[in-house]
């Protein structure tokens, strides 16, 4: 009995095969969320089959194989045809071909790609429909037919030209199912829908793939939650962190004051960088190459009004935020158009809240001199008093997370994180700003973090992220 008969009760396997350079590895990378797959414009990039199992707690639910492209299809087909037998024995001839050519360097690619198929894998035949159909594909499809394994075709478009009509006609002769999939712009639904199609290849695969789809949903949930909790932590730590610098003289020198400020800012930047790294890891984008402006504090920076209006809040908006979180009455709107009204009307709370926001705008956090006793004095900086800061940080983190979550694992170009003006409107509306401000205020207060608050803040961020990413 050949292998694949015995293996029918194992987990579903799928071999992604096709002509060289048609996006097989890209499709596998996208489906397996693996950004370490070698993808390049050179044909013959993949030379060895590689397994991408979906594992849950160590148990494999299904397995996807990336394979090299056909290099000598006609020669293989000629060999098979020379050993022609009746249709029910054809797969045995393919197995015989593999056995005979295992050590033959000429057929390395074919052996590699046929092995998982003969091991029971369903066939996912990838073509690039941005190029015209050509007769050279027939030999490959014929070989695949010899294996007797269930198969489907997946149409990819490497560029914008479209020859899918002629492709569909040709593929229709060989494959029962023809689907279109773009590995570069995939989203969760498309991903799941391809999985569903793959399940159709064999009846006994439907159930395990259903389970896999559920798991993917759960996996995505985990990613969102972990991201939200990392971002929440980033904001909390950055806002509440306190930098200390001991000095032993009577008074701190200018140099020491500069140093503490530098240390403080560096620490904030480090928080951001390491959070971004962790978020990339969560979304399996460990290899992401990105081009991004670091969190800067000078020039076109975090605290310039220009940046503030892009990433965070403008002075005006801050005023509203400050007012609404401090006010008891709705007098806040009057305050916006300040002038004399500012002094005339409005509750005291609103006045204090609003003006506080206004004046807090340009300050980071003042340097305090503390610990006068015992001869050990220290400078202290933090918690972050700038009210705009958490929004800038959040805006950047949200943007980064969104980009990372939406980037296909098949992308290999440098990834540009350049936020545009419209992003703020996308993530921050009046209601979420109000609810966020409540927590930012707590973070600033230097009070111990409350587990319930943290959870609620995370949930809020999760909600915003969902909205941003799922649209």
Sites of contact with other proteins (CB under 8 A): 19-21, 31-34, 36-38, 40-45, 48, 50-58, 66, 69-75, 78, 106, 109, 131-132, 134-136, 138-139, 215-216, 218-219, 222, 225-226, 229, 233, 237, 284, 374, 445-451, 454
Q: How far is the CB of 55 from other proteins (least distance, A)?
A: 5
Interaction partner, residue 23 (Mg ion, other proteins, ligand GTP, none; CB < 5-8 Å by kind) = ligand GTP
Q: How far is the CB of 130 from ligand GTP (least distance, A)?
A: 8
Between 141 and 180, how does the x/- string for binding to ligand GTP read (CB under 6 A)?
Answer: ---------------xxx----------------------
Closer residue to Mg ion in complex, CB, 25/388: 25
Q: What element of type H or E holds 179?
A: strand 177-180
Residues 3 and 95 sit within 8 Å (Cβ to Cβ) = yes
Closer residue to Mg ion in complex, CB, 30/80: 30
Closer residue to other proteins in complex, CB, 134/330: 134
C-alpha distances in Å from residue 345, one per residue of 54, 65, 185, 287, 340 = 63, 71, 54, 57, 9
Q: In whole angstroms, what is the distance from residue 204 CA to residue 143 CA?
A: 25
Closer residue to ligand GTP in complex, CB, 152/465: 152
Closer residue to Mg ion in complex, CB, 28/239: 28
Q: What is the CA radius of gyration of the chain?
A: 30
| Strands in 243-376 per DSSP E | 243-247, 290-292, 367-370
Interaction partner, residue 179 (other proteins, Mg ion, ligand GTP, none; CB < 5-8 Å by kind) = none
In terms of Cα–Cα distance, which of 222, 224, 209, 157 is closest to 186?
157
Q: In whole angstroms, what is the distance from residue 107 CA to residue 153 CA?
A: 23
Interaction partner, residue 345 (other proteins, Mg ion, ligand GTP, none; CB < 5-8 Å by kind) = none
Closer residue to ligand GTP in complex, CB, 41/421: 41
Tokens at residue 74, please? 């006609």
Interaction partner, residue 219 (ligand GTP, other proteins, Mg ion, none; CB < 5-8 Å by kind) = other proteins
C-alpha distances in Å from residue 339, one per residue of 270, 328, 356 = 41, 21, 16
Phi and psi dihedrals of 68, rounded to 5? -70, 160
Closer residue to other proteins in complex, CB, 66/280: 66
Please, is 20 exposed, middle or buried when counting C-beta atoms within 10 Å of its C-beta (0-12, 13-18, 19+)? middle
Closer residue to Mg ion in complex, CB, 35/280: 35
Q: In whole angstroms, what is the distance from residue 209 CA to residue 199 CA?
A: 6
21 binds ligand GTP (CB under 6 A): yes
322 binds ligand GTP (CB under 6 A): no
Selected range binding ligand GTP among 18-26, 84-92, 319-327, 350-358, rule: CB under 6 A: 18-26
Query: Which residues 44-63 are close enough to bind ligand GTP by CB under 6 A?
Result: 44-46
DSSP assignment, residue 244?
Answer: E
Q: Which residues bind Mg ion (CB under 5 A)?
A: 24-25, 45-46
Q: In whole angstroms, what is the distance from residue 434 CA to residue 391 CA?
A: 12
Tokens at residue 360, please? 């807090």
User: What is the binding site for ligand GTP (CB under 6 A)?
Assistant: 20-26, 39-41, 43-46, 68-69, 156-158, 182-184
């Amino acid at each position: 009995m050949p292998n694949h008969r015995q293996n029918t009760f194992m987990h579903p396997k799928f071999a992604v095969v096709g002509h060289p350079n048609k996006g097989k590895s890209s499709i596998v990378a996208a489906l397996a969320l693996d950004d370490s797959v070698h993808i390049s414009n050179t044909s013959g990039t993949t030379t060895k089959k590689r397994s991408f199992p979906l594992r849950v707690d160590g148990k494999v639910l299904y397995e996807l194989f990336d394979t090299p492209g056909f290099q000598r299809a006609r020669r293989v087909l000629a060999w098979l045809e020379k050993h022609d037998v009746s249709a029910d024995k054809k797969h045995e001839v393919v197995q015989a071909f593999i056995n005979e050519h295992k050590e033959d360097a000429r057929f390395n690619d074919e052996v590699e790609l046929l092995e998982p198929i003969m091991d029971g894998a369903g066939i996912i035949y990838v073509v690039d429909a941005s190029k015209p159909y050509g007769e050279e594909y027939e030999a490959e499809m014929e070989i695949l037919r010899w294996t007797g394994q269930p198969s489907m075709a997946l149409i990819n478009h490497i560029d914008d030209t479209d020859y899918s009509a002629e492709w569909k006609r040709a593929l229709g002769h060989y494959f029962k199912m023809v689907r279109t999939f773009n590995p570069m712009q995939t989203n969760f639904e498309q991903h799941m829908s391809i999985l569903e199609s793959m399940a159709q290849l064999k009846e006994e695969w439907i159930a395990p793939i259903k389970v896999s789809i559920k798991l993917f949903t759960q996996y995505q949930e985990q990613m969102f939650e972990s991201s939200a909790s990392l971002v929440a932590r980033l904001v909390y730590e950055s806002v509440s962190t306190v930098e200390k610098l001991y000095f032993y003289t009577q008074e701190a020198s200018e140099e020491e004051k500069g140093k503490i400020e530098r240390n403080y800012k560096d620490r904030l930047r480090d928080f951001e960088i390491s959070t971004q790294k962790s978020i990339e890891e969560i979304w399996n984008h460990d290899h992401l190459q990105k081009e991004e402006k670091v969190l800067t504090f000078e020039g076109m920076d975090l605290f310039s009004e220009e940046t503030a209006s892009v990433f965070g809040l403008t002075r005006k908006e801050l005023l509203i935020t400050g007012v609404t979180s401090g006010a008891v009455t709705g007098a806040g709107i009057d305050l916006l158009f300040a002038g004399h009204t500012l002094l005339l009307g409005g509750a005291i709370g609103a006045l204090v809240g609003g003006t506080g926001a206004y004046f807090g705008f340009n300050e980071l956090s003042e340097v305090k001199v503390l610990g006068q006793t015992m001869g050990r004095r220290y400078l202290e900086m933090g918690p972050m008093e700038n009210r705009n800061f958490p929004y800038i940080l959040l805006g950047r983190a949200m943007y980064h997370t969104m980009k990372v979550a939406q980037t296909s694992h098949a992308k290999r170009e440098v990834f540009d994180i350049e936020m545009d003006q419209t992003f703020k409107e996308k993530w921050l509306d009046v209601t979420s700003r109000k609810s966020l401000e409540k927590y930012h205020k707590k973070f600033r207060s230097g009070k111990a973090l409350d587990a319930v608050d943290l959870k609620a803040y995370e949930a809020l961020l999760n909600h915003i992220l969902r909205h941003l990413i799922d649209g």
